[in-house]
A and B are shown apart, each in its own frame.
Chain A
Protein backbone atom coordinates (compact mmCIF):
# COMPACT_ATOMS: atom_id res chain seq x y z
CA UNK A 1 0.00 0.00 0.00
CA UNK A 2 2.69 2.43 0.96
CA UNK A 3 4.46 2.00 -2.34
CA UNK A 4 1.27 2.77 -4.21
CA UNK A 5 0.80 5.83 -2.10
CA UNK A 6 4.26 7.07 -2.97
CA UNK A 7 3.63 6.55 -6.64
CA UNK A 8 0.50 8.60 -6.33
CA UNK A 9 2.36 11.24 -4.38
CA UNK A 10 4.81 11.60 -7.24
CA UNK A 11 1.90 12.41 -9.49
CA UNK A 12 0.47 14.77 -6.95
CA UNK A 13 3.76 16.62 -6.62
CA UNK A 14 3.82 17.11 -10.34
CA UNK A 15 0.27 18.41 -10.21
CA UNK A 16 1.16 20.83 -7.45
CA UNK A 17 3.91 22.25 -9.58
CA UNK A 18 1.66 22.54 -12.58
CA UNK A 19 -0.79 24.50 -10.50
CA UNK A 20 1.93 26.59 -8.96
CA UNK A 21 3.69 27.43 -12.16
CA UNK A 22 2.02 30.03 -14.20
CA UNK A 23 2.64 33.49 -15.41
CA UNK A 24 0.37 36.34 -14.61
CA UNK A 25 -0.91 38.60 -17.31
CA UNK A 26 1.37 37.35 -19.99
CA UNK A 27 0.48 37.47 -23.62
CA UNK A 28 -3.00 36.29 -24.30
CA UNK A 29 -1.96 33.40 -26.49
CA UNK A 30 0.21 31.79 -23.83
CA UNK A 31 -2.50 32.38 -21.22
CA UNK A 32 -4.88 30.36 -23.27
CA UNK A 33 -2.34 27.58 -23.45
CA UNK A 34 -1.85 27.60 -19.70
CA UNK A 35 -5.56 27.62 -19.05
CA UNK A 36 -6.03 24.58 -21.21
CA UNK A 37 -3.19 22.74 -19.50
CA UNK A 38 -4.63 23.52 -16.09
CA UNK A 39 -8.05 22.55 -17.22
CA UNK A 40 -6.91 19.10 -18.23
CA UNK A 41 -4.93 18.58 -15.07
CA UNK A 42 -7.70 19.81 -12.86
CA UNK A 43 -10.16 17.44 -14.38
CA UNK A 44 -7.83 14.52 -13.86
CA UNK A 45 -7.17 15.44 -10.26
CA UNK A 46 -10.83 15.87 -9.53
CA UNK A 47 -11.76 12.53 -10.96
CA UNK A 48 -9.32 10.75 -8.69
CA UNK A 49 -11.31 11.89 -5.71
CA UNK A 50 -14.82 11.97 -6.99
CA UNK A 51 -15.94 8.69 -5.48
CA UNK A 52 -15.56 9.91 -1.95
CA UNK A 53 -17.71 12.07 0.23
CA UNK A 54 -16.61 14.77 2.61
CA UNK A 55 -12.83 14.63 3.04
CA UNK A 56 -13.27 15.09 6.77
CA UNK A 57 -14.90 11.69 6.92
CA UNK A 58 -11.68 10.04 5.89
CA UNK A 59 -10.34 8.01 8.73
CA UNK A 60 -6.87 8.25 10.10
CA UNK A 61 -5.03 11.11 11.64
CA UNK A 62 -2.50 13.32 10.05
CA UNK A 63 0.80 11.56 9.70
CA UNK A 64 3.83 13.37 10.94
CA UNK A 65 6.33 14.50 8.39
CA UNK A 66 8.83 11.92 7.34
CA UNK A 67 6.55 9.66 5.41
CA UNK A 68 4.94 7.66 8.17
CA UNK A 69 1.24 7.17 7.78
CA UNK A 70 -1.25 6.23 10.41
CA UNK A 71 -4.40 4.46 9.47
CA UNK A 72 -7.19 2.47 10.96
CA UNK A 73 -7.36 0.07 8.09
CA UNK A 74 -4.92 -0.99 5.45
CA UNK A 75 -6.38 1.26 2.78
CA UNK A 76 -7.44 4.41 4.58
CA UNK A 77 -5.54 7.18 6.28
CA UNK A 78 -3.54 10.31 5.85
CA UNK A 79 0.00 10.19 4.57
CA UNK A 80 2.62 12.87 4.38
CA UNK A 81 5.24 12.41 1.73
CA UNK A 82 8.89 13.35 1.91
CA UNK A 83 9.80 16.90 1.09
CA UNK A 84 10.94 16.88 -2.53
CA UNK A 85 13.38 19.42 -3.84
CA UNK A 86 12.21 20.61 -7.22
CA UNK A 87 13.38 23.30 -9.56
CA UNK A 88 10.74 25.59 -8.12
CA UNK A 89 11.52 24.84 -4.49
CA UNK A 90 10.62 22.30 -1.86
CA UNK A 91 7.28 20.56 -2.23
CA UNK A 92 5.73 18.23 0.33
CA UNK A 93 2.33 16.70 -0.19
CA UNK A 94 -0.17 15.20 2.24
CA UNK A 95 -2.82 12.88 0.87
CA UNK A 96 -5.88 11.36 2.41
CA UNK A 97 -6.77 7.86 1.26
CA UNK A 98 -10.11 6.26 1.79
CA UNK A 99 -10.79 2.73 0.64
CA UNK A 100 -7.72 2.80 -1.54
CA UNK A 101 -8.59 6.04 -3.32
CA UNK A 102 -7.08 9.47 -2.82
CA UNK A 103 -9.86 11.64 -1.53
CA UNK A 104 -7.77 14.70 -0.86
CA UNK A 105 -4.33 15.93 -1.71
CA UNK A 106 -2.76 19.08 -0.38
CA UNK A 107 0.66 20.56 -0.25
CA UNK A 108 1.86 21.01 3.31
CA UNK A 109 4.92 22.72 1.95
CA UNK A 110 5.12 24.48 -1.38
CA UNK A 111 7.66 26.73 -3.05
CA UNK A 112 7.93 30.04 -1.30
CA UNK A 113 10.56 32.42 -0.13
CA UNK A 114 12.68 31.55 -3.14
CA UNK A 115 11.47 34.50 -5.11
CA UNK A 116 9.30 32.37 -7.32
CA UNK A 117 6.05 33.29 -5.59
CA UNK A 118 7.01 36.95 -5.48
CA UNK A 119 7.79 36.74 -9.18
CA UNK A 120 4.42 35.20 -9.96
CA UNK A 121 2.61 37.74 -7.82
CA UNK A 122 4.54 40.79 -8.91
CA UNK A 123 2.59 43.70 -10.30
CA UNK A 124 2.31 43.45 -14.06
CA UNK A 125 0.76 46.06 -16.29
CA UNK A 126 -2.32 44.42 -17.78
CA UNK A 127 -2.47 44.06 -21.52
CA UNK A 128 -5.88 45.51 -22.24
CA UNK A 129 -6.45 43.61 -25.43
CA UNK A 130 -9.51 42.06 -26.95
CA UNK A 131 -9.10 38.91 -24.88
CA UNK A 132 -9.70 40.97 -21.79
CA UNK A 133 -12.54 42.95 -23.29
CA UNK A 134 -14.30 39.77 -24.32
CA UNK A 135 -14.88 38.85 -20.70
CA UNK A 136 -18.49 39.67 -20.03
CA UNK A 137 -19.02 36.87 -17.57
CA UNK A 138 -20.34 37.56 -14.11
CA UNK A 139 -17.28 35.87 -12.70
CA UNK A 140 -15.59 38.94 -11.26
CA UNK A 141 -14.34 39.73 -7.77
CA UNK A 142 -14.80 43.48 -7.61
CA UNK A 143 -16.20 46.35 -9.63
CA UNK A 144 -14.28 49.51 -10.33
CA UNK A 145 -16.47 52.44 -11.19
CA UNK A 146 -17.39 55.96 -10.29
CA UNK A 147 -17.47 56.13 -6.51
CA UNK A 148 -20.28 54.16 -4.97
CA UNK A 149 -21.67 55.92 -1.93
CA UNK A 150 -22.95 54.10 1.13
CA UNK A 151 -26.47 54.98 0.02
CA UNK A 152 -25.95 53.47 -3.41
CA UNK A 153 -24.20 50.37 -2.19
CA UNK A 154 -27.22 48.09 -1.90
CA UNK A 155 -28.02 48.60 -5.58
CA UNK A 156 -24.43 48.08 -6.71
CA UNK A 157 -22.86 45.12 -8.43
CA UNK A 158 -20.23 45.04 -5.68
CA UNK A 159 -22.99 44.46 -3.15
CA UNK A 160 -24.17 41.43 -5.08
CA UNK A 161 -20.62 40.05 -5.25
CA UNK A 162 -20.09 40.61 -1.52
CA UNK A 163 -23.39 38.97 -0.64
CA UNK A 164 -22.30 35.82 -2.40
CA UNK A 165 -19.20 35.56 -0.21
CA UNK A 166 -20.31 36.90 3.17
Chain B
Protein backbone atom coordinates (compact mmCIF):
# COMPACT_ATOMS: atom_id res chain seq x y z
CA UNK B 1 0.00 0.00 0.00
CA UNK B 2 1.20 3.47 -0.73
CA UNK B 3 -0.03 5.80 1.91
CA UNK B 4 0.17 9.45 1.11
CA UNK B 5 0.03 11.98 3.84
CA UNK B 6 -1.74 9.52 6.07
CA UNK B 7 -3.12 11.53 8.92
CA UNK B 8 -1.24 11.04 12.11
CA UNK B 9 -1.01 12.80 15.40
CA UNK B 10 2.61 11.70 15.73
CA UNK B 11 4.92 14.22 14.01
CA UNK B 12 7.74 11.67 13.86
CA UNK B 13 5.55 9.50 11.61
CA UNK B 14 5.55 12.16 8.91
CA UNK B 15 7.96 11.78 6.03
CA UNK B 16 11.38 13.26 6.64
CA UNK B 17 13.45 14.88 3.95
CA UNK B 18 17.17 15.07 3.64
CA UNK B 19 18.33 16.74 0.47
CA UNK B 20 21.95 15.85 1.01
CA UNK B 21 21.57 12.27 -0.18
CA UNK B 22 19.86 10.22 -2.82
CA UNK B 23 16.45 10.55 -1.21
CA UNK B 24 13.75 9.18 -3.45
CA UNK B 25 10.51 7.89 -1.94
CA UNK B 26 8.57 9.31 0.94
CA UNK B 27 5.85 6.88 1.97
CA UNK B 28 5.89 5.88 5.60
CA UNK B 29 5.36 2.22 6.30
CA UNK B 30 5.51 0.14 9.43
CA UNK B 31 8.99 -1.12 10.07
CA UNK B 32 10.47 -3.69 12.34
CA UNK B 33 13.96 -4.80 13.30
CA UNK B 34 14.87 -8.30 14.44
CA UNK B 35 18.24 -9.18 15.97
CA UNK B 36 19.79 -12.52 16.84
CA UNK B 37 23.35 -13.58 17.56
CA UNK B 38 24.52 -16.31 15.17
CA UNK B 39 28.03 -17.36 14.08
CA UNK B 40 29.33 -15.05 16.78
CA UNK B 41 27.77 -12.12 14.93
CA UNK B 42 24.80 -9.89 15.53
CA UNK B 43 22.40 -10.48 12.64
CA UNK B 44 19.99 -7.54 12.21
CA UNK B 45 17.00 -7.84 9.88
CA UNK B 46 14.89 -4.79 9.04
CA UNK B 47 11.60 -5.14 7.16
CA UNK B 48 9.43 -2.24 6.05
CA UNK B 49 6.04 -2.45 4.42
CA UNK B 50 2.39 -2.58 5.39
CA UNK B 51 2.63 -5.86 7.33
CA UNK B 52 6.15 -5.46 8.68
CA UNK B 53 4.95 -5.81 12.25
CA UNK B 54 2.65 -8.74 11.54
CA UNK B 55 3.13 -12.41 12.43
CA UNK B 56 3.71 -13.54 8.81
CA UNK B 57 6.79 -11.32 8.46
CA UNK B 58 8.07 -12.42 11.87
CA UNK B 59 7.69 -16.04 10.76
CA UNK B 60 9.54 -15.39 7.50
CA UNK B 61 12.41 -13.72 9.40
CA UNK B 62 12.56 -16.61 11.89
CA UNK B 63 13.25 -18.93 8.94
CA UNK B 64 16.24 -16.76 7.99
CA UNK B 65 17.71 -17.16 11.48
CA UNK B 66 17.03 -20.91 11.39
CA UNK B 67 18.84 -21.26 8.05
CA UNK B 68 21.85 -19.31 9.34
CA UNK B 69 22.05 -21.49 12.46
CA UNK B 70 22.06 -24.60 10.26
CA UNK B 71 24.94 -23.19 8.21
CA UNK B 72 26.78 -22.33 11.42
CA UNK B 73 26.54 -26.00 12.46
CA UNK B 74 27.94 -26.98 9.06
CA UNK B 75 30.75 -24.47 8.61
CA UNK B 76 31.92 -23.48 12.07
CA UNK B 77 35.64 -23.89 12.67
CA UNK B 78 34.96 -23.34 16.38
CA UNK B 79 32.53 -26.22 16.87
CA UNK B 80 34.57 -29.45 17.00
CA UNK B 81 31.68 -31.57 15.68
CA UNK B 82 30.97 -29.48 12.57
CA UNK B 83 31.74 -31.12 9.21
CA UNK B 84 34.24 -28.37 8.39
CA UNK B 85 36.07 -28.96 11.70
CA UNK B 86 36.21 -32.68 10.88
CA UNK B 87 37.60 -31.90 7.42
CA UNK B 88 40.22 -29.64 9.05
CA UNK B 89 41.29 -32.47 11.36
CA UNK B 90 41.48 -34.87 8.43
CA UNK B 91 38.66 -37.06 9.77
CA UNK B 92 36.63 -36.51 6.64
CA UNK B 93 37.59 -35.66 3.10
CA UNK B 94 36.24 -32.58 1.41
CA UNK B 95 34.91 -34.77 -1.42
CA UNK B 96 32.55 -36.54 1.02
CA UNK B 97 31.09 -33.32 2.39
CA UNK B 98 27.49 -32.26 1.79
CA UNK B 99 26.61 -30.23 -1.32
CA UNK B 100 26.57 -26.88 0.48
CA UNK B 101 30.14 -27.38 1.68
CA UNK B 102 31.21 -28.44 -1.81
CA UNK B 103 29.53 -25.35 -3.24
CA UNK B 104 31.42 -23.14 -0.80
CA UNK B 105 34.69 -24.90 -1.55
CA UNK B 106 34.14 -24.23 -5.25
CA UNK B 107 33.27 -20.59 -4.57
CA UNK B 108 36.46 -20.24 -2.51
CA UNK B 109 38.51 -21.48 -5.48
CA UNK B 110 36.71 -18.98 -7.70
CA UNK B 111 37.40 -16.23 -5.14
CA UNK B 112 41.10 -17.05 -5.11
CA UNK B 113 41.14 -16.83 -8.89
CA UNK B 114 39.18 -13.56 -9.04
CA UNK B 115 41.34 -11.89 -6.40
CA UNK B 116 44.66 -12.99 -7.81
CA UNK B 117 45.40 -14.95 -4.63
CA UNK B 118 44.51 -12.19 -2.18
CA UNK B 119 41.69 -14.41 -0.90
CA UNK B 120 42.29 -18.02 0.06
CA UNK B 121 40.40 -20.71 1.96
CA UNK B 122 43.68 -22.49 2.71
CA UNK B 123 45.22 -20.72 5.65
CA UNK B 124 47.74 -21.96 8.20
CA UNK B 125 46.00 -24.13 10.80
CA UNK B 126 47.06 -24.61 14.42
CA UNK B 127 49.96 -26.81 13.29
CA UNK B 128 51.09 -24.28 10.71
CA UNK B 129 50.01 -26.46 7.80
CA UNK B 130 47.40 -25.07 5.40
CA UNK B 131 43.92 -26.22 6.38
CA UNK B 132 40.54 -25.72 4.75
CA UNK B 133 39.02 -22.57 6.29
CA UNK B 134 36.16 -21.12 4.26
CA UNK B 135 35.21 -18.69 7.07
CA UNK B 136 36.21 -15.66 5.02
CA UNK B 137 33.57 -16.46 2.41
CA UNK B 138 30.96 -18.43 4.34
CA UNK B 139 29.53 -15.57 6.35
CA UNK B 140 28.70 -13.41 3.34
CA UNK B 141 27.51 -16.38 1.31
CA UNK B 142 25.28 -17.84 4.04
CA UNK B 143 23.75 -14.44 4.75
CA UNK B 144 23.18 -13.83 1.03
CA UNK B 145 21.46 -17.21 0.66
CA UNK B 146 19.23 -16.65 3.69
CA UNK B 147 18.54 -13.09 2.54
CA UNK B 148 17.48 -14.27 -0.95
CA UNK B 149 15.17 -16.86 0.60
CA UNK B 150 13.60 -14.20 2.84
CA UNK B 151 13.03 -11.93 -0.16
CA UNK B 152 11.32 -14.82 -1.95
CA UNK B 153 9.11 -15.58 1.05
CA UNK B 154 8.09 -11.93 1.30
CA UNK B 155 7.36 -11.90 -2.45
CA UNK B 156 5.06 -14.89 -2.02
CA UNK B 157 3.33 -13.30 0.96
CA UNK B 158 3.04 -10.06 -0.97
CA UNK B 159 1.22 -11.79 -3.80
CA UNK B 160 -1.74 -12.34 -1.47
CA UNK B 161 -4.42 -9.69 -1.70
CA UNK B 162 -3.96 -6.84 0.72
CA UNK B 163 -0.53 -7.90 1.98
CA UNK B 164 1.64 -5.62 -0.11
CA UNK B 165 5.30 -5.50 -1.01
CA UNK B 166 8.05 -5.31 1.61
CA UNK B 167 11.64 -4.04 1.59
CA UNK B 168 14.37 -5.91 3.45
CA UNK B 169 17.76 -5.07 4.94
CA UNK B 170 20.05 -7.59 6.61
CA UNK B 171 23.24 -6.67 8.42
CA UNK B 172 25.57 -9.41 9.60
CA UNK B 173 28.14 -7.82 11.88
CA UNK B 174 28.67 -4.91 9.49
CA UNK B 175 28.15 -6.60 6.13
CA UNK B 176 24.85 -5.46 4.68
CA UNK B 177 22.46 -6.68 1.97
CA UNK B 178 19.37 -4.72 0.93
CA UNK B 179 16.47 -5.18 -1.44
CA UNK B 180 13.45 -3.05 -2.26
CA UNK B 181 10.25 -4.54 -3.60
CA UNK B 182 8.47 -1.22 -3.15
CA UNK B 183 8.90 1.85 -5.31
CA UNK B 184 7.48 4.40 -2.87
CA UNK B 185 10.12 4.03 -0.17
CA UNK B 186 13.36 5.95 0.32
CA UNK B 187 16.64 4.25 -0.53
CA UNK B 188 18.15 2.24 2.27
CA UNK B 189 21.07 4.26 3.61
CA UNK B 190 24.19 2.40 4.63
CA UNK B 191 26.65 4.33 6.73
CA UNK B 192 30.31 3.45 6.39
CA UNK B 193 32.01 3.69 9.74
CA UNK B 194 35.20 5.58 10.43
CA UNK B 195 37.80 2.93 11.31
CA UNK B 196 39.55 5.39 13.64
CA UNK B 197 36.41 6.27 15.56
CA UNK B 198 33.71 3.64 15.32
CA UNK B 199 31.02 5.96 16.63
CA UNK B 200 31.43 8.11 13.52
CA UNK B 201 30.09 7.59 10.03
CA UNK B 202 32.44 8.59 7.21
CA UNK B 203 29.78 8.66 4.53
CA UNK B 204 26.50 7.07 3.73
CA UNK B 205 25.59 5.18 0.59
CA UNK B 206 22.01 5.11 -0.72
CA UNK B 207 21.07 1.74 -2.13
CA UNK B 208 17.84 0.06 -3.25
CA UNK B 209 19.34 -3.29 -4.08
CA UNK B 210 22.81 -4.62 -3.45
CA UNK B 211 25.35 -5.18 -0.74
CA UNK B 212 27.98 -3.30 1.25
CA UNK B 213 30.83 -5.15 2.95
CA UNK B 214 33.73 -3.77 4.94
CA UNK B 215 36.99 -5.43 5.86
CA UNK B 216 39.28 -3.97 8.46
CA UNK B 217 40.90 -4.56 11.78
CA UNK B 218 39.10 -2.00 13.94
CA UNK B 219 36.72 -4.45 15.63
CA UNK B 220 38.70 -7.60 16.15
CA UNK B 221 42.31 -6.58 15.88
CA UNK B 222 44.58 -8.34 13.42
CA UNK B 223 42.51 -11.31 12.28
CA UNK B 224 43.14 -11.14 8.55
CA UNK B 225 46.24 -12.70 7.05
CA UNK B 226 47.72 -12.12 3.61
CA UNK B 227 47.74 -15.64 2.08
CA UNK B 228 50.82 -14.80 0.03
CA UNK B 229 52.94 -13.71 3.02
CA UNK B 230 51.13 -15.29 6.00
CA UNK B 231 51.33 -11.91 7.73
CA UNK B 232 48.70 -9.29 8.53
CA UNK B 233 48.30 -6.88 5.62
CA UNK B 234 49.42 -3.28 5.92
CA UNK B 235 48.43 -0.20 4.01
CA UNK B 236 44.74 0.28 4.81
CA UNK B 237 42.63 0.77 7.91
CA UNK B 238 39.53 -0.47 6.14
CA UNK B 239 38.18 -1.38 2.73
CA UNK B 240 34.47 -1.16 1.90
CA UNK B 241 33.09 -2.61 -1.30
CA UNK B 242 29.60 -1.98 -2.71
CA UNK B 243 28.24 -4.42 -5.26
CA UNK B 244 25.20 -6.36 -6.37
CA UNK B 245 25.80 -9.50 -4.26
CA UNK B 246 26.99 -9.84 -0.67
CA UNK B 247 29.20 -12.88 -1.29
CA UNK B 248 31.38 -11.03 -3.76
CA UNK B 249 31.28 -7.62 -2.08
CA UNK B 250 32.58 -9.41 1.02
CA UNK B 251 35.31 -11.32 -0.84
CA UNK B 252 36.42 -8.21 -2.73
CA UNK B 253 36.50 -6.16 0.48
CA UNK B 254 38.75 -8.74 2.12
CA UNK B 255 40.96 -8.88 -0.96
CA UNK B 256 41.16 -5.08 -1.22
CA UNK B 257 42.17 -4.88 2.44
CA UNK B 258 44.83 -7.55 1.92
CA UNK B 259 46.15 -5.79 -1.18
CA UNK B 260 46.50 -2.57 0.74
CA UNK B 261 48.10 0.16 -1.30
CA UNK B 262 47.25 -1.19 -4.72
CA UNK B 263 43.62 -1.91 -3.74
CA UNK B 264 42.25 1.11 -5.62
CA UNK B 265 43.78 0.23 -8.98
CA UNK B 266 42.70 -3.39 -8.55
CA UNK B 267 39.09 -2.71 -7.53
CA UNK B 268 38.70 -0.30 -10.46
CA UNK B 269 39.09 -3.27 -12.80
CA UNK B 270 36.00 -5.02 -11.39
CA UNK B 271 32.73 -4.19 -13.09
CA UNK B 272 29.68 -3.09 -11.11
CA UNK B 273 31.56 -2.51 -7.87
CA UNK B 274 32.52 0.63 -6.02
CA UNK B 275 34.86 0.94 -3.05
CA UNK B 276 35.72 3.22 -0.18
CA UNK B 277 39.27 2.81 1.11
CA UNK B 278 40.69 4.38 4.26
CA UNK B 279 44.47 4.45 4.45
CA UNK B 280 46.68 4.47 7.54
CA UNK B 281 46.59 8.27 7.73
CA UNK B 282 42.79 8.13 7.64
CA UNK B 283 42.64 9.49 4.12
CA UNK B 284 39.59 8.41 2.18
CA UNK B 285 39.74 7.17 -1.37
CA UNK B 286 36.58 6.34 -3.28
CA UNK B 287 36.70 4.13 -6.35
CA UNK B 288 33.89 3.99 -8.89
CA UNK B 289 33.95 2.01 -12.10
CA UNK B 290 34.57 4.09 -15.18
CA UNK B 291 31.50 5.52 -16.85
Interface residues of chain A, those whose CB is within 8 Å of chain B, are 12, 15-16, 19-20, 22-26, 28, 31-32, 34-36, 38-39, 42, 44-55, 103-108, 110-112, 116-117, 120-128, 131-137, 139-150, 152-153, 156-159, 161-166
**Closest CB-CB distance, B290 to chain A, in whole Å?**
11
**Closest CB-CB distance, B52 to chain A, in whole Å?**
9
Candidates A24, A112, A139, A145; contact of B218 at CB < 8 Å = A145
A20 and B184 form a contact (CB under 8 A)? yes
**Closest CB-CB distance, A89 to chain B, in whole Å?**
10
A132 and B274 form a contact (CB under 8 A)? no
Docked Cα-Cα span, A139 to B16, in Å, equals 10
Interface residue? B252 (CB, 8 A) = no
A135 and B21 form a contact (CB under 8 A)? yes
Q: A121-B183, A157-B191, A158-B44 are in contact. Are A143 and B208 (CB under 8 A)?
A: no
Docked Cα-Cα span, A134 to B182, in Å, equals 26
Candidates B21, B22, B190; contact of A144 at CB < 8 Å = B190
- Of all chain B residues, the one with the shortest Cβ separation from A139 is B18
The 0/1 profile, CB within 8 Å of A marked 1, for residues 72-108 of chain B is 0000000000000000000000000000000000000
B42 and A148 form a contact (CB under 8 A)? yes
Interface residue? B240 (CB, 8 A) = yes
Docked Cα-Cα span, A146 to B8, in Å, equals 39
**Closest CB-CB distance, A48 to chain B, in whole Å?**
6
Interface residue? B234 (CB, 8 A) = no
**Closest CB-CB distance, A116 to chain B, in whole Å?**
7
Docked Cα-Cα span, A47 to B8, in Å, equals 11
A-B contact count (CB 8 A): 287
Docked Cα-Cα span, A149 to B218, in Å, equals 11
Give 10 nearest A-B pairs by CB, closest first: A45-B5, A145-B193, A146-B216, A165-B33, A128-B286, A140-B191, A153-B42, A49-B7, A46-B5, A146-B218
Interface residue? B206 (CB, 8 A) = yes
B193 and A144 form a contact (CB under 8 A)? yes
Interface residues contributed by chain B, number (CB under 8 Å): 91
Interface residue? B70 (CB, 8 A) = no
Candidates A116, A128, A156, A159; contact of B205 at CB < 8 Å = A128
Q: Which segment, of B115-123, B126-134, B171-179, B225-233, faces chain A?
A: B171-179
B207 and A126 form a contact (CB under 8 A)? yes
Candidates A112, A120, A135; contact of B208 at CB < 8 Å = A120
